[in-house]
Structure formats: C-alpha cells, structure tokens
A and B are shown apart, each in its own frame.
Chain A
Amino acid sequence: MTDNPGSAADGAQKLRYYQKGTFTVGNRLVDAENRSVQASEERSNALTCGHRACQGCGEALGARYALDAAMRATGGQLIAVNATGCLEVFTTPYPETSWQLPWMHSLFGNAAAVATGVAAAMRVKGKRDVRVIAQGGDGGTTDIGFQCLSGMFERNDDVLYICYDNEGYMNTGVQRSSATPPAARTATTPAVGPEPGNVFGTGKSVPRIAVAHRIPYVATATVADLHDLERKVVKAMSIRGARYLQIDVPCPLGWGSASHDTIKLARLAVETGFYPIFEAEHGKITAVRSIRRPRPVTDYLKLQKRYAHLFKGGQEDPRVARLQAMCDANIAEYGLLADGQDG
C-alpha cells in the first residue's frame, strides 16, 4: 500500500501508510521493500551475537545497521577493513569472531590505507562488483588514522569510510580524543581544576574536513534514526570514489549513561542541535535533517555522568550555557529548524 489521497474536504491530509510507525524499524502494513533492512528476517547480521560489547553498546548497533545496509546494497559483495578500537576488540577476541563478512584488521592508524589497497587489489583482479568499507572509532579516525584517511580522500579511492563516533578512546579506559566534546569528563580530562572536563575550543570536525576534500559524498547519521542511516549507506554504495559516513554512537561506559538510554541519547543529540545531521556532495552541503521536537541541551547532558560536574549540588555550571550556545550555533549554521520532515 502506498500513499493514498485524503478526503476531498481535507485535501492536504495524506493517508500515510504508517502514521503509527513512521519512525519505527518496520511496519506490518508496508511492503517488505519499503521496510528497513533491519526489519527483515533475512538481514545479513554482519555483526552477529556473542560479541563482547557492553550492554546497550551504540557502536555494535551502528556497525550492524551500516554493514547490513551495505550488504544488501552490494548483494553481499563486501569487504570490511577495521581499525583498532572497541569495534575490533569486542568482535574478534581470538579465536572467535562475530563478523559474517570478509573482514580484516591491521593496525590502529592504517585502516584507510589498507582499504585503499584492498580496493586496488579488487580492481586489478577485475572484481568491480566487490566493494570495500573501512571502519573505525573516532580515535582511529580523527587522531591516529587521520593521515591515511586524508590521503584516501585526496586520491578519491573507491572506499566508504565509516567512523563510529563515541567521542573518546573507550576500550582503553575512556581517554579524550579530538572528537570529545567540550566539558566532557574523560580519564585524561578529569572534572577538576578551574576548567573541569575537556576544554572548550579544542577538537575538530572530521565530516567538515572531509567536505573540504571535495570528495563525492559525506554524511553524518545516528543510531536513533535508522531509516536515515540506511538511506545514507545505500546512497554511499551507489557512488564510486571516496565517501565518508560518521555515525553518532552513544557509549554507556564512556558517557556514564544507562544502557537503555543509548538510542534516546543519540536522538537527543540531534534534537538539541548538539550533533548536526547533514549530507554533502563534492564539497557542498546538500541536505540537513531537521529537528522534529526541539529540546534544550540540558535534557541531553543530564543523562550522562561525564557531564555530572556541570550540575553538581543542584547548581548549573555556566558552561552549560556555552554548550547551549554551541547547539544554537549549529542550529543556525545548518538551518536545523526548517520545516520538519515526517518519515
């Protein structure tokens, strides 16, 4: 069933095939091909059970979302190259693996370069249909693997690089990375001294740096918006050349949040303007995901112990206002409060 016209009396009113589940993973009233990959009993489960990620791990979820979508988009002709990090550690403790696709790991900093090599090998062997994904956490992407990543971008190698951004080095004990947001407490930015937590004015936006490389496709996404994430993966796999996708994946361990709040936090990151969701092609931003139900940044911060020092003793630290200003600037810069989308 597809969209039907509304009544004559109310012409603007559309009968959506799933107003009850516009944002849900699947829907029984919709044809199978219009449901998400995750709704399918035939999804590849590229990352299957038995892995050792923490309860409620956003990265484990994000990796399955992205790779299952890519598996469907490529008809299973997919190779993944993984940087060192949580994702590598929790999925492949020797002699076990949770991966159900050809997968390789080399070093912390060289995933982009290795993926470039795999893509070159496939080209040499004439296997044009075999596609390559490189993936890693924010540490392996924005810090340690950054040089290889930038090289992959500027050479326009045929690789989709996916960064699962949990805003720190989590499996080594929650250290700061260049993706850690201001004021967040980590092991290396403790909540002590005159400016507790990560200092303002540091860090970098790799999606914007990727855009500056003028590669064919750059996008951000979250585990809270599956349909948007899958659509971006499918779009990325339809393009040849260097592509970059960064997915916000909340980390219960590193953020000090409840395991059941992982998706809620990713949703709040978008709804507060904290994590702008956009797409860019060849150096230009082409689309943004509008905020559906705007929320103040405190809603996002208060669910996370890494920001607990901002609310100590019932007092709101002045840095909360700075974080709100950061969100407001994002909203203004990306135009996130334009007409809302609804599925």
Chain B
Amino acid sequence: MDHPFAITLDVGTSKSNKTGSWRNVRPEYVHRLPPCNHACPAGEDIQGWLAHAEAGDYEAAWRALTVNNPLPAVMGRVCYHPCEGACNRKDIDAAVGINSVERFLGDTALAKGWAFEPPASESGKTVLVVGAGPSGLSAAYHLRRMGHRVAIHEAGPLPGGMMRFGIPKYRLPRDILDGEVKRITDMGVTITYNAKVENIREAMMAGGFDAAFLAVGAHIAKRAYIPAGEAAKVLDAVQVLRSMEGEDKPLLGRRVVVYGGGNTAIDVARTAKRLGAEEAVIVYRRTRDRMPAHDFEVEEALEEGVMMKWLSTIKTVEAGSITVEKMALDDKGFPQPTGEMETLEADSVILALGQDVDLGLLDGVAGLEVKDGVVKVGPNMMTGAPGIFAGGDMVPSERTVTVAVGHGKKAARHIDAWLCGETYQPAEKHEIASFDKLNTWYYGEAPQQMRPVLEIARRTSTFEEVVKGLDETNALFEARRCLSCGNCFECDNCYGVCPDNAVIKLGPGKGFEFNYDYCKGCALCAEECPCGAIRMVPEAL
C-alpha cells in the first residue's frame, strides 16, 4: 500500500469484514393483517386505502376501496363499522374514524363523477342476480368486473332493497344511494324492476343464465298475536318504512307506540317523530343493555325525544290505548311477566319484531335446504342446487348492509370460479397485527375528528341527514391517524436505527431491503418498527 504522509487506512476497508456471519436471527419484512381489515364483513383493505388517503390521493384511495366494496358513500353512512371496534388505535386514544373517511371518499367520488373501469374482456357467461339490494348489487358489480354479463331482477320499483325500503332518509339520503347504484349500472349491469322472480329454475332457463345469485331481502314482518279491538290501528315497521318511499305518507297519529328493541324499532320511532308524532314510545320487554339495537342509534333517538319503556310487553291494543304488562328479568336474564298492568295512550301501534325472507322462488328446486327461514349455503356461498348461490338476508348470518356486501363479493368470486369449472381458493390470511406487535411510541397524539351532527330541532321535524360528513382537512387528519398496523409505511425507522448500515432504502414506494452481509441480527429494526412489519426469524445454523 502506497499512501501519502500519515494516511494509513483506506476508506471503506471495513466492508471486507462481513459481520453478517455473527447473526443467529435474521430480520424479514412481513405483511401482517390489520385488525380493521380482519373485522370488516365486506373484506375491505382499510389500511391500504387509508394509506392513499393520508397522502391526499383520494382517487387512488377510492379505487383501492372499491376493489372490495362498490358502495363507499352508503357504507360511510349505514355501516356499524366493526373495523373501528377492532382498531388498535383505540388502545392509544380513540379508534381511527374509518367510517367517516370512507364516507368522505364516497361523497368525493360522487361529487367528482369518478366511474368504474369496464371489464378488460368479456367472458361470454351470464349471471342472474335476484334482488337489487346491497348483496345483489355487490355481486353484480364484482361479476361484471370479472367480465360476466349480469342481469338483476328486482321485485320492487327502485334499486337498493332494504337500503331504500328499510333505512330512513335521515340516515341514507336517496341521491347518494342512486348515485352509487348508477355507477354499477353504468358498467353494463342491467336491472329490471317490478320483476319478481317466482321460480328460480324457470327464470334461469328463460333467460339462458349460466348461474344465479339469490339476494332477496327480509321484507316480511314477523307478527305476534296481540288481541286488538276493531278500531285499533296496528301496523308493521317494514310497511311503515316502505310507505315512506311512496307518495302517501303513513298516518300514525299523535301518540305512536313501537314494539320491539332492534334497529328497525329505533328507525321507525324516529321516523314517527319526524312525521309529527308528539310522542313516540318504544316498548321493549327487556332492558337497554339487552337491546339488539346499536347504542349510538338508541342515543340519537333519545336525543330526538323518543321515549323508551323497558321491561314491558303489549297485552292488548284498543282504539286510542294499549295495555302493557311489566316484566322482570329472572336469574338468567329472561323477562318474566309480573302480572302488573298499565295503560298507555296510543293512536297507533307499530310492530318491529323482526323480519323474514320470502323464499317462494325456491319452491320445487331440488337439493335446496331451508332451515329456520333461511337457505343453507356452503363455504362457497352455493346452495344445495348446483349453480345457484345465495347471500345477504337469505342465508344464516348477521343481517347488515356490510355483511350483505361481503356476501356479494365472496359469492362473485366463487361464481366466477364455478363458471370456469374451477374452485376459488382464497389467499392465505396473514397473521394479525395485534397491538403487542406495535411500537406505539412513534405515533403522535391526535384526537379523533367527530362528524358534525344536525341540530335537534331540525332532526325532529325534517328528514334531513342527521350525521354530516367530514371536510377535507378533517378527513385527511383522520386518515393520518391510521397506525398502518402490520404494513410498512416507509417511516425509515429500520433504515435509521440499524447500527450496521445493513438496511438498504430502495426509494419512494419501494420499501427497504436487508443487507445480510452486514446485518448482525441485533433486532433493533424489528423492535423499533412502529407498525410491526418486521419479523425476526432464527437462522438455520
């Protein structure tokens, strides 16, 4: 070595010392399943679309969202957001307002007129979808994207199913629903209205369909026998909510009693208030904590002056009044009659005791199995009859819009495979990115952004939407509260904290790579990764 005066060592000579040989564990970049995605009944990649939203690229976020769910503006209003219940951020301050960002994206898409891409190629197969509710629309959208021709036969005069005839306008404005449906029909999905399918096999034969997806909603009200006088006015909730969509609004009187404890009971009581009822009383046989209705809806109803009568059953209905019997919960939490009676004034009684599905179209189809009023389906959403799939309210499951949308997507994938003579194999799920996988030190304090709520006076007199959307600033703030659980968000921590420069930064959007020539396996990168996207794996020695 020939060096100038006082120079003894050459720059970078230590690189000949491959310290990677010291290692007995190696870091690996992994993707873990964010708890929000895991909890989403529609199978959305929530963390994925939030990542686009937080960069301010709302169109990319919307496109990523609609890969799984074509109805974000609807979903951002009516979904009960189990994602937020699962969100890891709730253990730091409060869950990310996923639902409000979803709504912001959905509304932005409608305002800007973003459209779905037509399918790249046509498959030549045709699928009949029965019912233009959330499940049917979702299946139609996904099947169309896969290149199949889709015809929806809808019994009603308008699309949306229970989203239109079950959910009041103050929760889901109809222009929003219409806008999102139109985007699906613009892709080439046809909807025939007032076309009730009476017999599915005949309908398939007549139209030359290769497969069918049944998505009939639960439109038939369950009845309970209550002795009623001749002049007594007893209605059912489905009928009341449905007639809200027509010209003639239902006449309910000044004092309205609603019987039941589910979300429909709440919806109908709030509707009665808006129609001018001075009193809307919900009579429920158990207590508030046992109500099937979601608590925030109960809270909103109470704010609007809806009254609750807990631990009561209706014994008789007369013109202008009802008799209720007080109940008491037994040791097991079941309500038992006490024999104590009470009379309430009531101009009308609305029963909200649950709904059934009209399964008449399945009569005589071989192989089908119906139990407890719903159709049995396999893990691939296919009924016992080959080529006939079913989802939504028709199959044993929770009855929500989000579950229905998820069924539609799942069924579409299996129908697509079935049409091609294959079996759809869902990708293996990653390990869940649970809270203990995170290093939450790195997340700044940021409180949740609340959506503005319409003032009470207008809530009890109009059908204006109660919960408003976030503006862009708040939506962006909210999106950036996402912790990105289990998926790298390019924070450069691994690249920074490595004492051995053994992490290579590949540039924006490309992530990082380990240089195993020098990585000593100290695991600082894994420990200091905020989102749990690095795993340490023992070396085979």
Contacts and interface: CB of A to CB of B under 8 A. Distances in A.
Interface in A216-258: 226, 252, 258
Closest 7 A-B residue pairs measured CB to CB? A26-B492, A25-B496, A22-B444, A50-B14, A56-B522, A24-B491, A260-B523
A20 B14 contact: no
B55 interface: yes
A23 B530 CA distance: 10
A20 B527 contact: no
Interface string B499-517: 1111001011000000101
Interface stretch (B15-23, B60-68, B190-198, B298-306): B15-23
A185 interface: no
Contacts of B443: 19-23
A278 interface: no
A4 B474 CA distance: 10
A61 B501 CA distance: 9
Contacts of B8: 94-95
B444 A13 contact: no
Interface stretch (B144-152, B277-285, B312-320, B481-489): B481-489
B52 to A, nearest CB: 12
Contacts of A98: 14
A305 interface: no
Nearest to A47: B501
B524 A260 contact: yes
Interface string A3-14: 011110110010
Interface size range on B against A: 35 or more
Contact of A95 (B9, B444, B481): B9
Name the residue among B15, B442, B522 with the largest chain A CB count within 10 angstroms: B522
A47 B501 CA distance: 9
Given A50-B18, A100-B12, A259 B492 contact: no
Interface residues of A, number: 65
A188 interface: no
Nearest to A62: B499
Interface of A: 1, 4-7, 9-10, 13, 15-16, 18-29, 35-36, 38-39, 41, 45, 47-53, 55-58, 60-61, 64, 91-92, 94-100, 104, 226, 252, 258-264, 267, 293, 342-343
Given A15-B480, A24-B493, A49-B15, 14 more contacts: A15-B473, A16-B480, A20-B489, A27-B492, A36-B496, A38-B492, A49-B14, A49-B19, A49-B515, A53-B500, A55-B22, A95-B13, A96-B13, A293-B441
A260 B14 contact: no
Contacts of B480: 15-16, 18-20, 29
Name the residue among A7, A19, A49 with the largest chain B CB count within 10 angstroms: A49
Contacts of A267: 441
Nearest to A39: B492
B467 to A, nearest CB: 14
B224 to A, nearest CB: 45
B445 interface: yes
19 contacts: A1-B56, A19-B444, A19-B446, A20-B481, A20-B484, A20-B489, A21-B489, A38-B492, A49-B515, A50-B17, A52-B19, A53-B499, A55-B520, A56-B524, A58-B499, A252-B522, A258-B523, A259-B520, A260-B526
A48 B14 contact: yes
B528 interface: yes
Contacts of A29: 54-55, 480
B510 to A, nearest CB: 11
B522 A45 contact: no
A214 B318 CA distance: 94
A56 B491 contact: no
Contacts of A61: 497-499, 524
B458 to A, nearest CB: 17
B457 interface: no
A48 B490 contact: no
Contact of B527 (A38, A97, A263): A263
Interface of B: 1, 6, 8-19, 22, 54-56, 441-447, 449, 452, 471, 473-474, 476-477, 480-484, 489-493, 495-502, 505, 507-508, 515, 517-518, 520-524, 526-528, 530
A41 B465 CA distance: 50
B527 A261 contact: yes
B472 to A, nearest CB: 10
A4 B475 CA distance: 13
B441 A23 contact: yes
B500 A51 contact: yes
Given A25-B497, A28-B55, A96-B16, A259 B508 contact: no
Given A26-B496, A51-B14, A92 B9 contact: yes
Contacts of A94: 8-9
A24 B530 contact: yes
A20 B473 contact: no
A226 B480 CA distance: 22
A16 B446 contact: yes
A35 B14 contact: no
Contacts of A64: 499, 501
Name the residue among B56, B474, B496, B498 with the largest chain A CB count within 10 angstroms: B496
A226 B528 CA distance: 13
A128 to B, nearest CB: 22
A222 to B, nearest CB: 13
A284 B475 CA distance: 44
Contacts of B476: 4, 15
Name the residue among A15, A21, A25 with the largest chain B CB count within 10 angstroms: A21
A90 to B, nearest CB: 9
A25 B483 contact: no
A39 B508 CA distance: 12
Name the residue among A20, A53, A99, A263 with the largest chain B CB count within 10 angstroms: A20
Nearest to A99: B11
A5 B489 CA distance: 24
B363 to A, nearest CB: 56
A262 B13 contact: no
Given A49-B518, A50-B19, A260-B527, A16 B11 contact: no
A127 B1 CA distance: 29
A151 to B, nearest CB: 24
B18 to A, nearest CB: 7
A97 B11 contact: yes
A22 B480 CA distance: 11
Nearest to A53: B499
B58 to A, nearest CB: 14
Contacts of A38: 492, 495-496
A259 B521 CA distance: 9
Contacts of A15: 473, 476-477, 480
A246 to B, nearest CB: 19
Given A41-B507, A48-B14, A259 B495 contact: no
Contact of A55 (B56, B447, B521): B521
B480 to A, nearest CB: 5
Contacts of A50: 13-19, 518
A3 to B, nearest CB: 11
Contacts of A26: 490-493, 495-496
B85 to A, nearest CB: 21
Contacts of B471: 7
B240 to A, nearest CB: 35
Nearest to B15: A50
